[in-house]
Structure 1
């Protein structure tokens, strides 16, 4: 790091201490600050948001990576058997390329948002369809995505296998099959397993740890673990960094892939403060672990957050409000990336 960069960071840190929110024209952004720490800072987006100029202005300024929230899922890309539609995913990839953003593909195998025709298949045809779907999708985006969420949410709340239709018909072997198919289709992409509610120590994270360790022992090409990071304010578990580190000690990358912190409505100053503290905890956990590749928000504005649909009495889960104005959580993240 040269003297000019150190001087710039010092000046921005001083400014951040004087203003409740860093000015929109601040010399550094979340993405550039994260890059100085060797991390990406991303946002989950979808094509319907790309025409929203106030939204994309913030997206372009603050973020270095994007994840399509829905555009690459099975129901969007292969709604009918062997009839592929890459239109929405292609638009996001093109948008990212024009702005030098990286893309994380999401997701190749998940029990949700799967067409009915897939769920009706017998075991033999289901395995064939899964491998073919992975091959077509990952081959189409070969070289365009930095990483793939290969298998999403394979475990239940106890840390055992989720009894999805994939598991019921194919057994646990579908996970290894999916990773091997993804590696064959795109040898250059990082391959991640993704799970929810596994950020801290507990039965689920231990189940995930044991699953990943067994996959590695079998030579399955798992490169990393995506911890989603869907949090309720005031309920971030302890030991997040230590939990991340035990996965990193297996030789794996870790990422926070879908971070949001929901609050009970209505929003208040006290709830904003708690949310800001929780975002600080999660971002700092990533900064603490050298093999944490980065953080992705899901998404960055309450205008497009899906939290109110999943949790009707909760919301305000992101660092920007419905008018795409920064909240205290933004300042907290900014200052944490500065080294606070």
Structure 2
């Protein structure tokens, strides 16, 4: 799913960054003490933003892992617990067990919750994906699903990824079940229904490969501009930012964030991770740290970039190796919950912006 373009990577500055991050044991003790006093979430709050992480329900049973989520972040996104297969496993029969577990954990830890996702072409229950629906039937099903889920979490979820991954790489609409049966009007309808169910929740479109400019992000720019003109309730655009070192950094990211902000919507980095080809080494981790810093700074440079969410925070529970064999080490903490240079790069960017 990731970018197919390549770019020659310049590693000298990244390697220098890693060298600069190396500390003697005594200095590291001071740094660790400082980390205990100010978390990434707290540093982000000083800039008027949040810094969160996705989490999946089984991960909450990993006590050390879950404790780090509650300690370091100020927001979370359920990785799977609010998707359609989990929330409406049978038509008209709703099950909020998984989503509620994460919401309850988040509230106990003082974390805000981003809802993910009300509609997506993947992870649909079989009763829905295998059905032969008329346009009116599917509109009714979609309206009921969105209404019931959003109402259930009204006041508990501050933002929703309403429609996820609805375009192809060339900017055309993805021919998912909703597009093929209803047509493109399902997008505006979904936003209207979500707004009616919770007028205070911020409503987003969300996708990958849209961090830089190109056909796909151009299509979202045109769509959001039209939705705004039609007075459809659209509050934000989510850039997933599943990046990979081998495909090059989206160097137009800040400018791209700004042009969406200029439409009058918020922008969020919603699913950030930066994978490497394994095995990892010091050079790759230095380049990865540079990229994490660049993404953070791109968001910090635009007032309406409201927050960053990493898609998991430790390689212990990353989704990357199972989907991209031979790749991994994508997150700011390693499998042993020891933070990597990426963590320091994020921290340094947030600290500089909040000082």
- Tell me if structure 2 keeps the 8 A contact 1:75–1:113: yes
RCO higher in structure (CA 8 A, sep ≥6): 2
- CA RMSD across the alignment: 1.5
The question of 1:186 aligning with 2:195 is answered no
* CA distance 1:20–1:194, change in 2 (3 Å): farther
Equivalent positions of 1:212-227 (< 5 A) are: 212-227=224-239
Distance apart, 1:17 and its partner CA: 8.9
The question of 1:23 aligning with 2:32 is answered yes
Q: Secondary structure at the match of 1:300?
A: coil
Q: Secondary structure at the match of 2:316?
A: coil
What residue in structure 2 maps to residue 247 of structure 1?
Answer: 260
Choose the corresponding residue for 1:115, options 100, 125, 131: 125
CA distance in 1, matches of 2:194, 2:78: 18
CA distance in 2, matches of 1:278, 1:89: 31
Distance apart, 1:57 and its partner CA: 2.2
TM-score by length of 2: 0.89
Choose the corresponding residue for 1:71, options 71, 76, 81: 81
Distance apart, 1:25 and its partner CA: 5.3
Distance apart, 1:121 and its partner CA: 3.7
Distance apart, 1:112 and its partner CA: 0.4
The question of 1:85 aligning with 2:95 is answered yes
What residue in structure 2 maps to residue 56 of structure 1?
Answer: 66
* CA distance 1:129–1:36, change in 2 (3 Å): same
The question of 1:152 aligning with 2:164 is answered yes
* CA distance 1:24–1:90, change in 2 (3 Å): farther
| Number of residue-to-residue matches in the alignment | 325
CA distance in 2, matches of 1:232, 1:129: 37
CA distance in 2, matches of 1:309, 1:191: 30
Distance apart, 1:133 and its partner CA: 0.2
Distance apart, 1:151 and its partner CA: 0.3
The question of 1:236 aligning with 2:236 is answered no
Please say which of residues 204-213 and 23-32 is displaced more in the overlay.
23-32
Please say which of residues 133-142 and 322-331 is displaced more in the overlay.
322-331
What residue in structure 2 maps to residue 333 of structure 1?
Answer: 346
CA distance in 1, matches of 2:288, 2:132: 44
What residue in structure 2 maps to residue 7 of structure 1?
Answer: none
What residue in structure 2 maps to residue 292 of structure 1?
Answer: 305
Cα deviations across residues 236-260 of structure 1 (Å, max 9, x unaligned)?
2111011000000011000000000
Runs of at least 5 residues in structure 2 that lack an aligned partner in the other structure: 1-20
What residue in structure 1 maps to residue 269 of structure 2?
Answer: 256
The question of 1:301 aligning with 2:314 is answered yes
CA distance in 1, matches of 2:176, 2:33: 45
Q: Secondary structure at the match of 2:61?
A: coil
What residue in structure 2 maps to residue 202 of structure 1?
Answer: 214
Please say which of residues 116-125 and 312-321 is displaced more in the overlay.
116-125
* CA distance 1:168–1:213, change in 2 (3 Å): same
- Tell me if structure 2 keeps the 8 A contact 1:20–1:331: no
